[in-house]
Amino acid sequence: MTDKTILLLITNDAVWLNPEIPIGTAQTNIPFKHLLFRTVVPIYWEAEMLRYDASDARLHLRVINYSVAEPLPRFAEQRPKKEVRALYFEKLDWRMLEPQLSSYTKARLTEQVNNLELSVAEPTRNFLPEIEAPAGTLSRSFSVPFSEAKIGLGEITFECYLDDISRNLTISIANAYLMPEFNLIKPFIAKKLKKKNFKVRATVHFRGGEIERIEAHSNEIKAINEEMLEAVKQQRLQGLTRPPKMTPPDQTLFTSEDIFDTLNDTAPGNPFRQTEKDILDFFSENNSIRNRQQLVFLAGSKQSERQPLRFTLTPKFGFLFFIEGPMNHHFAWELLNSNATYLWSFPKESRSVEQQYWEVAAQINAVQDAGRQQYRQYYRDDLERRVFSFNYIEHKHIGSAMINAFPKWRHKLEELLV
């Protein structure tokens, strides 16, 4: 952005130069009479300022970006150097404009829009007439993209334009299982339903020429229940073991709040508010996990209540437990289905716990870069320079029906936790 561009907030009532200065629709050449913008998500444009006509305080613009992300700081601070009473836009790009509209009459837009291809049939978007409305009611069936709906507490809402009364309506469908946090996982819900859109049957009831109430139903929204949401939760937990879509270059350890942002499922965040215990329970309850006994023991008997459990993604998904011994702080790294427990121990007074976490993260990166065997050798050759001690305890005879090696592993671990 440069000082020759301006951010604009586009609504169906005005074009806003900043939160305090609206330019009414009649003072622009955007054909508001023949189109309506979507209102679920604010629409911000970036426009190049071409010239200013002092005679009528008209600002001439060319839109260069139809999808400005997070513009609020600059938008709130920008101020016009001269009074602006009208806006004149060069022709708008239909390919960029059309996805932002909830309804339009295409034939009326040719003078202000480029790349517009007219066809013989030009249906208005969304509500399509299905039956003649009986007296007092009007019923319609239509399809709504999940991406255009907003999930609230116990409901999902969306907007549609109704030709019959030339009005934009906000429609709500109740579902007690829905929460606002689920907006983060709308793509995942749509994927679970195997549909990008949900079908709606809506009936508008009138009294005295005014809308009395709107009733709406959708089989897809009804299908969002506790069982389906639980399946989504389980799939997201299982997804933690797959390669992440992106690992921040400066982050090795993750909490339960930020690890879900790494999932490669187009649905960031932790809408189910799953804790580190939820994550651990999911894996420790799986009898096929070879080091299940070690995970359960470390979580239940050793993990300090003063620190949250941390997780790693590379080289494999793993758990970093924080254990407080009489003299030392211990960090036990247990990878899923691994062959050994890695243990880094620091004198309590040597550094702050936060600094110790940073050091352990660096060591985990070193393991990843060098490999486990090479790291163990490197540590033995470089003991004098270390401010911590390092040990590893192999998981011997796991899976054996004849030998229970877990007590030996536990005994060796207990010896090290001084």
Higher pLDDT, 156 or 236: 156
- Answer whether residue 144 shows pLDDT above 80: yes
Which amino acid is present at 219? N
DSSP-derived letter for residue 254 is B
- Tokens 């799953």 belong to which residue? 274
Residue 341 CA, distance from chain mean position: 34
The least confident of 160-164, 168-172, 372-376 is 160-164
Which amino acid is present at 25? T
Q: What is the pLDDT of residues 217-257, one digit of tens each?
A: 999 999 999 998 888 888 878 878 777 666 555 688 888 87
Q: What is the per-residue pLDDT for 133?
A: 44
Higher pLDDT, 396 or 344: 344
Tell me phi and psi for residue 181, to 5 degrees: -60, -20
Across the range 354-381, mean pLDDT stands at 85
Higher pLDDT, 329 or 268: 329
Q: What is the per-residue pLDDT for 401?
A: 47
Q: What is the pLDDT of residues 44-69, one digit of tens each?
A: 999 999 999 998 899 999 999 998 87
Helix (H, G, I), strand (E, B) or coil at 231: helix
* Nearest-angstrom CA–CA distance, 90 and 318: 56
* Nearest-angstrom CA–CA distance, 39 and 148: 9
Q: How confident is the model at residue 128 (pLDDT cuts 50, 70, 90)?
A: very low
- Answer whether residue 14 shows pLDDT above 60: yes
Q: What is the per-residue pLDDT for 123?
A: 44
Range among 68-72, 265-269, 393-397 rated most confident: 393-397
Q: What is the pLDDT of residues 246-297, one digit of tens each?
A: 655 568 888 887 787 777 555 567 778 888 888 888 888 776 788 888 888 9
Report the number of secondary-structure helices (H) and strands (E) in the chain.
10, 21
Q: What is the per-residue pLDDT for 58?
A: 94
Q: Residue 400 burial (CB < 10 Å; 0-12/13-18/19+)?
A: exposed
Across the range 346-374, mean pLDDT stands at 88
Q: What is the per-residue pLDDT for 248?
A: 59
Q: What global pTM score does this model have?
A: 0.56
Percentage helix, strand, coil for the chain under 3-state DSSP, each rounded to 5: 30, 30, 40
Q: How confident is the model at residue 396 (pLDDT cuts 50, 70, 90)?
A: confident
The least confident of 112-116, 157-161, 284-288, 410-414 is 284-288
CB-based contact 168:174 (threshold 8 Å): no
Largest Cα–Cα distance in the chain?
95
The least confident of 142-151, 246-255, 259-268, 374-383 is 259-268
Across the range 24-28, mean pLDDT stands at 90
Radius of gyration from C-alpha coordinates of the chain: 30
